[in-house]
Amino acid sequence: MKPRTEDDKAERDFHRPPTADPDQGRVYYPGLDGLRAFAIAMVYAFHDHDLDLLGYLTAWVEVPLALAVDPLVEALGLPSVSLWARVLPHRLFRSNGWAGVQVFFVLRGFLITTLLLRERGRFGRVDLRAFWVRRALRIWPLYYLVVAIGFGIYPWLGSGTTPTAWRASYGGQLPAFLGFLGNWSMIQRGQMPDPISVLWSVCVEEQFYLFVPLLVGFLVPRWRVLALAALIGASVVGRYPQVETPVDEDPLAADRPIPGRVRRRSPRWRIARQSPRSIVDRSPERAGSDSRDLRTARFW
């Protein structure tokens, strides 16, 4: 098949898949495995306040340093080293676990878009139906199982309240989660309990799978750049007013369940920055509240 335009020809010359079948010619970059592992560690440490494996691991490093290194360092008039052996991992992983989710979004977007571009470069078109069917078969079964457990079983077993009260507070968001709009629903109607709220990232992913193939399949490269710039601009403009929203009035302002967040620094963040022990000597409950206080102004 001959290319219809020069833009399509340039695409075909640049994006050459390893095999004729785009589903078999999977995109794999070994160099990204380490980045994935780092992102997984950040997300896990952010949520692991009960078992606290990060605390145990850093303690094994802190104790030998306190016994063997700190006396020599303090004799020279320098600050102790052992304390920062625990502080730095907490700051890097537990306080920035949200960044791990952003890394996964970027990696997934890069890999999926590369597959779509290679398919269009190879065949001159994107088989949208086949792409959406593959995504649905991979995501929908487990997603809807979690939704069924979260809305059907969790209110009776682990919600800490009566099923009637739980349904009155959260049941109205079920249609949004059924339609992969749970992230937007939580913005408008409030945060869901943890067993369900974690599905916001899957909702974002499904929305990406819906719109990006349309951009790749129907727009030539020059128009894609303009469309992408417009989307980025609209995202920034749409999130700018959130900077002025008091955190007490908008509990999701710090952990906005959409790609793009607005965070602000609170006075407690400045205190924690000056006092490393405020990070080390926190209880799990305090750790959860402090993570919500790290409201640094960022646009993504």
What is the percent of the chain where pLDDT is above 90?
28
In the structure, what pLDDT confidence band is assigned to residue 73 with cuts at 50, 70 and 90? confident
φ, ψ of residue 72 in degrees (nearest 5): -70, -40
Q: Looking at residue 25, what is its pLDDT?
A: 53
In the structure, what pLDDT confidence band is assigned to residue 242 with cuts at 50, 70 and 90? low
Return the C-alpha torsion angle 120, 123, 126, 132, nearest 10.
Answer: -120
- Picking from 1, 2, 15, the residue whose alpha carbon sits closest to that of residue 216 is 15
Annotated domain spans of the chain? 1-125, 129-218, 221-300
Return the C-alpha torsion angle 60, 66, 67, 68, nearest 10.
Answer: 100
Q: What is the DSSP string of 139-155?
A: HHHHHHHHHHIIIIIHH
- The CB-side HSE value for 143 (13 A sphere, CA atoms) comes to 21
- Decide if pLDDT at 170 tops 80: yes
In the structure, what pLDDT confidence band is assigned to residue 44 with cuts at 50, 70 and 90? confident
In the structure, what pLDDT confidence band is assigned to residue 136 with cuts at 50, 70 and 90? very high
Q: Looking at residue 194, what is its pLDDT?
A: 79
Q: What is the rounded average pLDDT of the residues 40-62? A: 84
- Using CA atoms, how far residue 29 sits from 16, 26, 36, 40, 118, in Å, is 15, 10, 11, 17, 15
State whether residue 32 is helix, strand or coil: helix
Least confident residue range of 21-25, 27-31, 165-169? 21-25
Q: Looking at residue 241, what is its pLDDT?
A: 67
Residue 159 CA to residue 169 CA, distance in Å, equals 12
Is the distance from CB of 157 to CB of 34 less than 8 angstroms? no
Q: Is the pTM of this model over 0.85?
A: no
